[in-house]
Amino acid sequence: MSAAVHHGLWVPEHGGNLHIALGAHARAYAHDECTCVVHWSDEDGKKSVFGVPSVRATVRQVLRCQGIEAFFVALESALRQGKLSSSDVQWLQAHTNAPAREAIAFARRDADSGLESLLRWRLRPHGLSVRAQQSIVSVGRVDFVIGDRLIVEVDGVDNHDGESHRHKDLVRDAHAAAWGYVTLRFDYALVVHDWRTVELAILGYVDRGLHLR
């Protein structure tokens, strides 16, 4: 995950053991109280002058370390920043598994944040119409519109803190209501650490048909 951070990719808060990437012919040496997790790379030698794996190799290691969800988020972050070329995407398709290839097909290049990628990925099994980065009259750009009129906003760790931001959010929500929309707003802690509450809130609106006109 440190390589992902080095490349500027969005990753959730992460603790635990240190993960080390080694080349296919490198040797690992045990040391006292060692808790490192070693990953052997079969990539074709693409590293920075500081020995950091390429972005594509880093994204694939995220898949191996953290699973498909973290892979998808890191992938969209890299795509958004233009750090993966078409040939890099083709390499990932050829060097990952079937679930990862499905994630690659689902990924977008305009995901505004890792939280948005996370929400889209977690809502995917429900088959909802989820449109990202939509412009609404008198409201501006919103993170998501589900169905016809359910707005979902996700606020990052550093965003929307303080009274001024809170007031602006309330004004936006009021304008949205005036145009017939309903708004659900979630912060970083809810999306990352209490997804079940987020999911139940969204599905509760959907089950009552509040996302439709």
pLDDT for 31: 64
pLDDT for 5: 83
Q: What is the 3-state secondary structure (H, E, C) of the chain?
A: CHHHHHCCCCCCCCCCCCEEEEECCCCCCCCCCCCCEEEEECCCCCECCCCCECHHHHHHHHHHHHCHHHHHHHHHHHHHCCCCCHHHHHHHHHCCCHHHHHHHHHCCCCCCCHHHHHHHHHHHHHCCCEEEEEEECCCEEEEEEECCCEEEEEECCCCCCCHHHHHHHHHHHHHHHHCCCEEEEEEHHHHHHCHHHHHHHHHHHHHCCCCCC
Distance CA 201, CA 180 (A): 19
| Nearest of 61, 31, 34 to residue 47 by alpha carbon | 61
**Phi then psi for 111, rounded to 5 degrees?**
-65, 125
**What is the C-alpha R_g of the chain?**
20
pLDDT for 88: 97
pLDDT for 118: 96
48-73 burial, b at 16+ Cβ within 10 Å, e below that, comes to eeeeebbbbbbbbbbbebbebbbbbb
Cite the residue boundaries of each domain of the chain with CATH code 3.40.960.10.
114-207
- The ranges of the chain with pLDDT < 70 are 1, 13-51, 157-162
pLDDT for 161: 59
Q: What is the 3-state secondary structure (H, E, C) of 127-170?
A: CCCEEEEEEECCCEEEEEEECCCEEEEEECCCCCCCHHHHHHHH
pLDDT for 26: 55
State the architecture of 114-207 in CATH terms: 3-Layer(aba) Sandwich (3.40)
pLDDT for 20: 57
